[in-house]
Amino acid sequence: MNISFCCKDDNASLWIGELQTALPQASVTLWQPGAPQADMAVVWAPPQQFFDEQPQLRAIFNVGAGVDALMKLRLPAQALVVRLDDAGMAVQMAEYVCHAVVRHMRHFAAYEADAQTGRWQRQLAPDRSAFPVGVMGLGVLGERVWSRTPKGLSALDCYAGLAALPHFLARCRVLVCLLPLTPDTQGILNRETLGQLKRGAYLINVARGGHLVEDDLLPLLASGQLAGATLDVFRTEPLPPEHPFWRHPQIRVTPHISAGTLPGKSIAQIVDKIGALTRGEPITGIVDRQRGY
């Protein structure tokens, strides 16, 4: 079995070495233009040329949970597209989101500003019941509160489909976006939808920059409809230095770090799935190309 590795990753040698060690019966090589044909591929942000030269691939393993960039390319029709189920990203995402929610709810931004001027001032203690949190699209990276399809989570109020979206939004004081980016979810965070949140709501986007209509955010902040936003993803990355989000006092910017791929756990999961496919066994994480996730 030949496995081609095609990733924009500074640790390519680590990935290839560990994959080769775990799969001694296979040949794992770094893809270069004109490379021999492979049976399977491990990729992240590959060029179209890779797939043009590898039309016979049986499976394409995406090093990450999001496959929106991969879905824009022309892929071999017969190849399974497989995403990581978790591989340590869910815990990181939960840490990031919880930090952003608590920072907003407990007024830590105000305390940080006061500290710069030596001002000693207590903020009003928050009432947790006044901060209902809604999460859009938690699949593997969380437990879904609103999604395209119904899910049975007894501890949460669950909503599914566009018909339920207005009712879901109307209940939210904090909105967390974790949707996959598809044609259906492109621009879903816009003036209309964010305007349906409770007044003074807070937005956290850790999914994809394409979910947010960026030009709509500043007017919503200026009007008081939104109290602020924590954004980890953007339509253009890196975020250009002149972008107004950098300097806006109500927007917190981080450089797409809410959840990073952990090589060890990711390699172990990919190896297990390659083994299962080789034995003819079913695997999880197969992408539905029609849905885009």
- How confident is the model over 35-49, as pLDDT tens digits? 999 999 999 999 999
Range(s) for CATH 3.40.50.720 in the chain?
2-87+261-278, 89-253
Cβ neighbours for 5, distance < 8 A, ≥ 6 positions apart: 12, 15, 16, 19, 28, 29, 30, 31, 41, 42, 43
pLDDT in the model for residue 143: 45
User: 85 with 63: CB under 8 angstroms?
Assistant: no
Based on the residue annotation, tell me whether 289 is a catalytic residue of this protein: no
Between CA 146 and CA 213 the distance in angstroms is 20
Using 50, 70 and 90 to split pLDDT, how confident is the model at 147?
very low
Record the pTM.
0.90
Is 83 a catalytic site residue? Answer: no
| 134-142 average pLDDT score | 72
- For every residue of 123-181, DSSP letters joined together read PPPP-GGG--EEEE--STTS--SEESS----TTS--EESGGGHHHHHHT-SEEEE----
Maximum CA extent, the chain: 67
Q: Which of 107, 235, 243, 256 is catalytic?
A: 256
Q: Which residues pair with residue 81 across a beta bridge? A: 60
Task: Pick one of 3.40.50.720, 1.10.10.60, 1.10.940.10, 3.30.70.580 as the CATH number of 89-253.
Answer: 3.40.50.720
**Mean pLDDT (whole number) for 166-190:** 96
Q: Which tokens go with 121? A: 């001032």
| Mean pLDDT, all residues of the chain | 93
CATH 3.40.640.10 assigned to domain 2-87+261-278? The reply is no
**pLDDT in the model for residue 149:** 55
Two structure tokens written together for 262: 């952990």
Between the ranges 43-47, 86-90, 137-141, 154-158, where is the mean pLDDT highest? 43-47
Residue 142: its pLDDT value, please? Answer: 43
User: Residue type at 230?
Assistant: T
Q: Which of 107, 208, 247, 252 is catalytic?
A: 208
